[in-house]
Amino acid sequence: MAHILLVDDDPIAVATNTEAIETLGHSVSSTSTTAEAIKFVRNDTPDLVVMEAVLGGKFGGLDLARAIAADYPDLPLIMLTQADQRLTNHELANEDREGWIPVRRYLEKPVLTDVLVDEIDHLLPEAE
């Protein structure tokens, strides 16, 4: 099965999502920082990355998505976030354009685990 990397600083979300993904038979690694995530991807590229946009109170996940996509354009990325609630209308207007976040799926939290595992299942064939 596939190896999934979860990047989120919410331990409850990580635990819940890890359990749901492992139920499918996939292995899961997790980290809570962008630096650790980049290091992990470079050392042991996963089959898919699920990430939060807001890490440590900042939008580090957005930059992380851009960095991973630049070096690994075929690596499927899923973003789970409430970032839209934290961006101002001006920021949203400036960012709301095709490709502003290079992810395959952008899902607003809360995301049901059934929805997440379904999205992972749909994206994994692209990674194989």
Boundaries of every domain in the chain: 3-121
Percent of the chain residues topping a pLDDT of 90: 66
Percent of the chain residues topping a pLDDT of 70: 83
pLDDT in tens, 4-20: 999 999 999 999 999 99
Write the burial class of residue 45 (CB in 10 Å: 0-12 exposed, 13-18 middle, 19+ buried): middle
> Above 90 in pLDDT, residue 85?
no
> Above 80 in pLDDT, residue 83?
no
Nearest to 17 by CA among 109, 122, 128: 109
pLDDT in tens, 29-74: 999 999 999 999 999 999 999 999 888 777 788 889 999 999 999 9
Q: Where are the alpha helices (DSSP H) in 1-128?
A: 11-23, 34-43, 60-71, 83-86, 89-95, 113-127
What is residue 118's predicted lDDT score, i.e. its pLDDT? 96
> Above 60 in pLDDT, residue 126?
no
Q: Which fold, 3-121?
A: Rossmann fold (3.40.50)
Q: How far apart are CA 118 and CA 26, in angstroms?
A: 13
> Above 70 in pLDDT, residue 86?
no
Global pTM exceeds 0.75: yes
